[in-house]
Structure 1
Amino acid sequence: MSAAPTVGIRAPRPAHALFVLPFVAIYAVLLLWPLAKGVWISFHDHDLLSNDSFWVGLGNYKELWADEVFHQVVWNTLRFVAISTPIFVGLSLMLALALNRPGRLATLLRATFFCASVFSVTLVTLVWKLALMPERGLVAQAFQALGLPELPLLTSDHLALLTIALVTVWWIIGLPMILFLSALQQIPADIYEAAALDHTPRWRVLTHITLPSLKRAIVLATLIEVIRQFQVFPQILLMTNGGPNNSTRSIVQFIYEQAFMQLSLGYATAASQVLLAIMLIGVSAQLWLERDRGGAR
């Protein structure tokens, strides 16, 4: 017996495509076309000032492969992501667990942590540059009061990138914290009530109920932070300008300098395509690892 044809509002009609056509058009204009245009420009020697363009094929990519400065900025960016992302995810999760409770104090602390994330990058970097000033800064005075030697936090090749990562964490830790708070509030209270009736220890509740329920939120927060930290730029530009000795220069800063200071748009666009490829590889690896873990369970 053949199935009856679908009729009514659920029937497939070509006219239904009109409902998604505005989104598809905007998506194509704002994302797909710039992406394709960027790939096309990366195969050209494009002078931003004269607007002259010459086909060079893979010449820009070959030059990037041999560029020692580009190697350094890629390494700096990877280090920054590796330092900041685990701190973001771990610390924001701990804050969410600690502040996921009723009360005025918890509400005040949630608002305090979140408010820092709405500050402009200029304000944040100005405050921290004053705090990290040698001898007269708040951090230097704190070291002096404790009888400890002053650390060159922004002038050391080994400490500058770590310092910027910690400032970045202080600045926008409230956003992943809010994500985890919303995920915690979606866990049914009945599960915790059943665990309390069984006198389940808190650490077992955390490891067997809370963290497994937050798995998707943890993956989402990790992916968001990986993508965001790969694009680090303004705080580095304002705090160290890529120094000392290129130890904090990021890929985005390299792209900015090549495009708007060296006026080499083709070379800068090729570097942006490399950044996009690195981000896609990082996100794909994270998703693959999470899927592999889920399959193993």
Structure 2
Amino acid sequence: MSTSSLTAARRRDALAAYIFLAPFAVIYATFLVYPFFKGLWISLHDWELAGSYRKYIGLLNYEDMWFDTIFWKTVGNTLAFVAMTVPTMTALALVLALAVFGQGRLKGVLRSVFFMSSVFSVSVVTLIWSMVLSADNGLLVPLFNLIGVNPVNFLGHPTLAMPSIALTTLWWGVGLPMALFLAALSQIPPELYEAAELDHAGRFSVLKNITLPSIRHTVLLVLVLQIVGQFQIFGQAHLMTQGGPANRTRTLVQYIYETSFRDWQVGYATAMSFGLFILMLGFTMLQLWLGRRGDE
């Protein structure tokens, strides 16, 4: 084949690749790239939710955010929630995956039961757990009465409210990471376990030297997904406690929502959204860096 023919063939291949890539590129630019830069532009303005008042103020929104005590309170609440849920969710999902992995009708039923909660909407989940944790007529009240203790107002307690929301989130969200771990476990060659059995290796030794190293990339994936997801907590806190008591459960996304749709300060809310983006990006990059160091 001549050089000109080879060049023409490469151009045709490149053109075909661009044609197939174009629909995705258009959708990606429309729904991700453009909104990102549009949000950055809005964050530099005093921008109302309704009306035409839009005044350029530069970095004033970011300066206000830096000195906003409620903003830093919600950041602390969000970090506390992430610390409660991400490691626990990952460990619990791995334990459940190890417990129900394999053949058998009972294990199949248990896999369905554990995954079932993840298909519920946040409104259904919060309604169920509000009924469970209510101090007036909750499902735990008869248990407290049985042991002669006054019912605990979990959702109104300054210390117990956030752990209660974390427990609700664990029950709701453990299904997906468990399914990811099950998929990873199914890809481990059975010959490795057979060799370990011949060497009379114990369960802990098998878990440490075979199972965990084989699924380390899935563990990293689950951690990253959980970090990104739990930083965006909104529905549970908004529906179960409305941010109370005394702002102990008000999260960053909830504060952004209230600032934008209640106070109509869209510019300031967008600036806080970029603060949340930087937090998520920083923790995700840290997790990926630690994962690469583990691979090395």
TM-score, normalised relative to structure 1: 0.94
The CA deviation at 1:7 is: 4.1
Deviates more, 1:145-154 or 1:92-101: 145-154
Is the contact made by 2:134 and 2:153 (CA closer than 8 Å) also made in structure 1?
Answer: no
Deviations 1:171-216 (A, max 9, x none): 1111100000000000011111111122221111111000110100
Secondary structure at 1:117 match in 2: helix
The CA deviation at 1:11 is: 3.1
1:165 paired residue number: 166
Shift in alpha-carbon separation, 1:8–1:199, aligned structure 2, 3 A: farther
Is the contact made by 2:100 and 2:107 (CA closer than 8 Å) also made in structure 1?
Answer: yes
1:11 paired residue number: 10
Distance 1:71 1:51 in 2: 30
Secondary structure at 1:11 match in 2: helix
Shift in alpha-carbon separation, 1:105–1:294, aligned structure 2, 3 A: same
Secondary structure at 2:55 match in 1: strand
Secondary structure at 1:45 match in 2: strand
Shift in alpha-carbon separation, 1:82–1:10, aligned structure 2, 3 A: farther
1:20-39 paired onto structure 2 within 5 Å: 20-39=21-40
Instruction: Write the letter of the residue equivalent to 1:234.
Output: G
1:1-297 paired onto structure 2 within 5 Å: 7=6, 11=10, 13=12, 14-15=14-15, 16-295=17-296
Distance 1:173 1:9 in 2: 53
The CA deviation at 1:220 is: 0.2
Distance 2:225 2:201 in 1: 34
Is the contact made by 2:49 and 2:265 (CA closer than 8 Å) also made in structure 1?
Answer: yes
Deviations 1:28-59 (A, max 9, x none): 01100000000000000001121310011110
Is the contact made by 1:135 and 1:141 (CA closer than 8 Å) also made in structure 2?
Answer: no
Secondary structure at 1:54 match in 2: strand
The CA deviation at 1:138 is: 1.2
Deviations 1:232-279 (A, max 9, x none): 001111100101101101111111111111011001100101000100
Secondary structure at 2:188 match in 1: coil
Shift in alpha-carbon separation, 1:10–1:176, aligned structure 2, 3 A: farther
Shift in alpha-carbon separation, 1:192–1:248, aligned structure 2, 3 A: same
Distance 1:233 1:51 in 2: 29
Deviates more, 1:85-94 or 1:192-201: 192-201
Identity of aligned residues (%): 45
Q: Unmatched 5+ residue regions in structure 1?
A: none
Kindly report the root-mean-square deviation, in angstroms, between the aligned alpha carbons of the 2 structures.
1.8
Distance 1:195 1:87 in 2: 29
Deviates more, 1:172-181 or 1:121-130: 121-130
Deviations 1:53-87 (A, max 9, x none): 00111100111111111110010001100100011
Q: Unmatched 5+ residue regions in structure 2?
A: none
Give the number of equivalent residue pairs. Answer: 292
Distance 2:194 2:52 in 1: 68
Secondary structure at 2:155 match in 1: coil
Distance 1:107 1:10 in 2: 52
Instruction: Write the letter of the residue equivalent to 1:11.
Output: R
Is the contact made by 2:45 and 2:57 (CA closer than 8 Å) also made in structure 1?
Answer: yes
TM-score, normalised relative to structure 2: 0.94
Distance 1:210 1:120 in 2: 33
Distance 1:8 1:173 in 2: 53
